[in-house]
Structure 1
Amino acid sequence: MDWYSIVKLLHILSATLWVGGGFTLMVVATLADRAGNIPGTLQAMRATGELGNKFFAPMSMLTLAFGLVMCWFWAGFSQLWILIGLAGYAMTFCIGMFVFKPTADRMAAMVARDGVTPAALAYGQRILRAARFDYAVMLVIMSDMVLKPTLHDFAVLAGMVLVLAGGVALALGRPRRLAPSAA
């Protein structure tokens, strides 16, 4: 076994924990939202805020660090797929730090102060909409890392653009109104 294989394994493990953990939270929140389960939705949103600095940020930083080590020692920084991956990482990291974390914190403070209000639920919806775009970016990053497109891979690059456009459409789409189910 060589050092590259070890660093690559650590890169994939940290990325799996980061992306998989966040995706699981998004699915739990979406299922609770669709069921009208306000407490479940709020719990998923609270967990997003609580895990942001303790789990998601460290896992994303480790993913970046191991990726940079592989680039520095083995792959270089000039290939298109590496640049796409770095741009995608920067985008999703910023969404986490500047959208998910502060929005979840504001929502949690509002619920603690005023209880479950329509304004607090609106913060939860904002997180879910941002998560839709964030995971479109994640899908592009994962595809990019596997397919390693060049400027000549028009179909792959066009597919990535379509995935991002779909994420934008989902994020900007009409939000569902959180309300308890009548059942």
Structure 2
Amino acid sequence: MNISTDDFGSAADPGTLSRLRHQLGLAADAEGLLDVAFTTVDSPVGPLLLAATPKGLVRVAYAIEDHDRVLDTLARQVSPRVLRAPKRLDMAARELEEYFQGQRRGFDLPLDLSLSRGFRLLVQQQLPSIGYGQTRSYRQVAELVGNPKAVRAVGTACATNPLPVVLPCHRVLRSDGTPGGYAGGTAAKTTLLSLEAA
């Protein structure tokens, strides 16, 4: 597919860049040249970056994580062929919107878990077993994965979770019930917990 600026009007047209990106994304996807598609969506916890490979959703990132830095990391760890292509993320965007509106309690998305390995991956795969509106302590999660003494390692696994919200590490709290750390910040964690408690 050939794309020329004649197809989109003058460069001064405010919509030109957006249309060019869209066409480029479609063309790259059609040619099998798109390894990582991304988009951003608005949410009650701020703008979220969503990224997917052909296997599934690979990354959800908060603005506090610096979206440009996250994209750079994806280009190094997954593939340099990263392009804004919102269409590939329509399902993820829709499910997240339903979650934030209180209409969805779990996610039915294909996931690409290639950014995590070993114990971290084991912990992250168990996070969806913590039901909507429920919480567990770091110690309880350590027990759940069969290593009760690995409380700090569970904390690290939650802190490095590449798919927050979808793999609900926000449901893991300190043993005294306080939120603890969170990739999106304590305010985001509290917002998610409040949303689920409503």
TM-score (norm 2): 0.22
Q: Return the structure number with greater helix share.
A: 1
TM-score (norm 1): 0.24
Q: Return the structure number with greater strand share.
A: 2
Which of structures 1 and 2 has the larger relative contact order (alpha carbons within 8 angstroms, sep 6+)?
1
